């Protein structure tokens, strides 16, 4: 088995608590099953950043000319320099969605990490047929991660 990829984890949300070991285990599980996901996220260090809605909206505006809040933004890395990419997620959006839909916050935020990992693997969700393919890959990935966690906790 290969050594786990290097992870840089930044929690910039005051109400979010995360289990770094569980998060690393989730990424390692995805990486171990990369052939099932178009080869997976490129090799190299993966950066995971957990932000507030306003912070992610600023990134969205700066890099995508859309200052509205969003759930996930991914930035491709430079594999030749040992960088897989960066996944920036909004813990606020996950918490709001989980409350509205009466789902588990932990699984919603983990879905956002999976979504970003799949984007780095080459999945796209801008056109309907590609979105269906990505949603199917998300479901497969979450089934693989069923035993991992809880990874995230929301402090009131």
What distance in Å separates the CA atoms of residue 54 and residue 44, rounded to the nearest whole number?
A: 29
Range of the domain at 16: 7-148
Look up the pTM and report it: 0.95
47-73 pLDDT tens trace: 999 999 999 999 999 999 998 889 999
Q: How confident is the model at residue 4 (pLDDT cuts 50, 70, 90)?
A: confident
Question: Can you give the three-state secondary structure of 37-56, one letter per residue?
Answer: HCCCCCCCEEEEEEECHHHH
What distance in Å separates the CA atoms of residue 108 and residue 97, rounded to the nearest whole number?
A: 8
Number of domains in the chain: 1
Bridge partner list, 72: 89
What distance in Å separates the CA atoms of residue 76 and residue 85, rounded to the nearest whole number?
A: 4
Evaluate whether residue 2 is within a structural domain: no
Evaluate whether residue 123 is within a structural domain: yes
CATH of the domain at 114: 3.40.390.30
3-state DSSP helix/strand/coil percent for the chain, to nearest 5? 50, 20, 30
116-138 pLDDT tens trace: 999 999 999 989 999 999 999 99
Q: How confident is the model at residue 156 (pLDDT cuts 50, 70, 90)?
A: confident
């Amino acid at each position: 088995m290969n050594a786990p990829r290097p992870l840089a984890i930044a929690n910039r949300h005051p109400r979010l608590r995360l289990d770094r070991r569980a998060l690393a285990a989730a990424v390692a599980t995805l990486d171990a099953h990369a052939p099932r996901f178009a080869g997976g996220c490129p090799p190299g260090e993966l950066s995971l950043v957990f932000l507030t809605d306003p912070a992610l909206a600023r990134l969205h505006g700066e890099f995508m000319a859309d200052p509205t809040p969003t759930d996930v933004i991914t930035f491709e890395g430079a594999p030749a320099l040992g960088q897989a990419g960066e996944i920036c997620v909004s813990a606020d959006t996950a918490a709001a969605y989980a409350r509205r839909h009466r789902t588990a916050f932990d699984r919603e935020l983990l879905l956002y990490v999976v979504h970003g990992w799949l984007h780095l693997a080459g999945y796209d969700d801008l056109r309907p047929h590609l979105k269906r393919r990505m949603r199917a890959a998300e479901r497969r990935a979450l089934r693989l991660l069923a035993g991992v966690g809880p990874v995230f906790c929301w402090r009131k």
